[in-house]
Amino acid sequence: MQRSHDALKKPIIARCPNCEAPRLPHRMCSACGWYGDRTVVELDAE
């Protein structure tokens, strides 16, 4: 019980509202560059 706070937790995965790609919460989408309600970074279409 002394080290119960050291347990690994599963990361929370959110979906991008623009392209539905999985991403971490409060992070820019690495697939489309979307954050919040606008495009933050223009990504090259490869």
Q: What is the pLDDT of residue 44?
A: 78
Residue pLDDT, tens place only, 6-41: 989 999 999 999 999 999 999 999 999 999 888 888
- 0.75 surpassed by pTM: no
In this predicted structure, the answer to whether residue 46 has a pLDDT above a threshold of 70 is no
Could you tell me which residues come within 8 angstroms of residue 4 by beta carbon, excluding any fewer than 6 positions away? Answer: none
Q: What is the structure's pLDDT at 45?
A: 64
Answer whether 18's CB lies under 8 Å from 8's CB: no
Reduce the secondary structure of 3-19 to three states and give it as a string. Answer: CHHHCCCCCCCEECCCC
